[in-house]
Amino acid sequence: MKFRSALLALALAVMALPCAAQDRAEACVDTITGNAVMSVAMLHAAETERWPDLSVRAQYRLSMLGERMGAWQRETLRIPRELFDFADRVAEVPWLSTCDPWSHRVRFTPRGDEWELRSAGPDGLFATPDDLHGEGTFVREAREHAAAQPAPATPRP
């Protein structure tokens, strides 16, 4: 009987451990600077009032980061390779934060001419049913400019 109880306890403990194959999101602190018009507290209150559902809030943040990325590409004529190419580590307003509402870092993945922004959702694990994502194509002018640039020289050994 004690053996069966110990075996059951061990099985429950193993199930509670995250699997090594699980892709956990980076933790982050959702800090913002505020601006001349609204304080940090006012901005957070406005976001909470407008988007009380955290999933809807996360989806809106992803869409706004996508818009920010498009503006950055039009300004710089560059294709971003990482999140902080186009997004500030500490945003002025919460809807441009690189943290989702559950304090997980949003993931940016470029794929050829396309991109994806992904929130790991409430569970903090990527590739699970609660993930939220936005995707799109890089701005045409930035793609054309990048294609016209010479390939970087490969250093000789």
Distance CA 8, CA 16 (A): 12
pLDDT top residue among 67 and 157: 67
| Closest CA relative to residue 142, chosen from 97, 85, 96, 89 | 85
Whether 13 shows a pLDDT value over 50: the answer reads no
Is 2 inside a domain boundary?
Answer: no
Mean of pLDDT over the chain: 87
Is 47 inside a domain boundary?
Answer: yes
Is 21 inside a domain boundary?
Answer: no
Q: What is the biggest distance separating any 2 CA atoms in the chain, rounded to whole angstroms?
A: 73
pTM above 0.85, yes or no: no
Rg (CA), the chain: 20
Q: Is 3 exposed, middle or buried (0-12, 13-18, 19+ CB in 10 A)?
A: exposed
In tens, the pLDDT along 87-100 reads 998 999 999 999 99
Q: The domain containing residue 125 runs over which residues?
A: 26-148
Is 104 inside a domain boundary?
Answer: yes
Q: Looking at the 3D structure of the chain, how many domains does it have? A: 1
DSSP E strands in the chain: the ranges are 23-24, 107-111, 114-119, 125-126, 132-137
Give the per-residue pLDDT at 3. Answer: 54
One-letter amino acid for residue 11 of the chain: A
Is 144 inside a domain boundary?
Answer: yes
Give the per-residue pLDDT at 4. Answer: 57
The SS3 assignment for 134 reads strand
- Lowest mean pLDDT segment, chosen from 18-32, 84-98, 135-149: 18-32
Whether 146 shows a pLDDT value over 60: the answer reads yes
CATH number assigned to the domain comprising residue 36: 3.30.700
Is 12 inside a domain boundary?
Answer: no
Phi/psi for 24 (5° steps) reads -80, 135
